[in-house]
Amino acid sequence: MVQFTAEIIGTMMLVLLGNGVVANVVLKDTKGHAAGWDVITLGWGLAVFVGVIITAKYSGAHLNPAVTLGLAMAGTFSWGQVPLYISAQMIGAMLGSSLVWLMYKDHFDATEDGDSKLAVFCTGPEIRRYSRNFISELIGTFVLVFTILYTVAPSLSLDGAKEVKVGLGALGALPVALLVVAIGMSLGGTTGYAINPARDLGPRIMHALLPMKNKRNSDWKYSWIPVLGPIAGGTLAALLFLLLNNYLGIMK
């Protein structure tokens, strides 16, 4: 129950701040209107930082079904916990996106462009070609999960000491936050780098449900890309990790 609650809260904060920076940039009459891609990528990275800080101690701070599945496939997480974590991540993402809508309600009302409103909730491709959009999400999530699998905690050995605990505290969340910024700046220009099925699907559902003026459809024809692409990317990352470690005996 602690892990379930932590994943809900952490994913809620992730989406609140991540989708919040998108709202600040794309909606009409905000202080950050038209601030640009750099602000969005940095905002999402900091959103990850906050989400990981809150949940790392209690649930390991997955915040992403692709990460949860990748860790389970790599043998570093229990398969029995996977449904619990993914359901919590979906609930958190839906709550976070609802809070963004509440926070920016007046600006949603002032914005006439339905595409901009949808962009606050979920991702979409700049050039719609499903096969390549899928590959974009696969590659971005592969980089995310593969790097996470090779992220190690700091260690220290002392003569005569049986156990030495070393930690970075809140700074332990920084590597993953910087990783997400790097993915956004380098690989996010094609599809908006969902790299997280819950982050995209949960808010997309809320976009369909919440009342908004001049609301367009929720682009369900595209919705499978930011779900299956990240899952495929996380799976490939786990398989390569297992191959390099268990079968080839390198990069341990």
In this structure, is residue 191 part of a structural domain? yes
In this structure, is residue 115 part of a structural domain? yes
In this structure, is residue 65 part of a structural domain? yes
Coil, strand, or helix at residue 199? helix
In this structure, is residue 133 part of a structural domain? yes
In this structure, is residue 85 part of a structural domain? yes
Domain that holds residue 149: 2-247
Whichever domain contains 57, its CATH number is 1.20.1080.10
In this structure, is residue 252 part of a structural domain? no
pLDDT, one tens digit per residue, over 15-38 is: 999 999 999 999 999 999 999 999
Q: Output the pTM of the full model.
A: 0.91
pLDDT of amino acid 111? 96
The number of distinct structural domains making up the chain is: 1
Using a pLDDT cut of 90, give the percent of the chain over it. 82
In this structure, is residue 49 part of a structural domain? yes
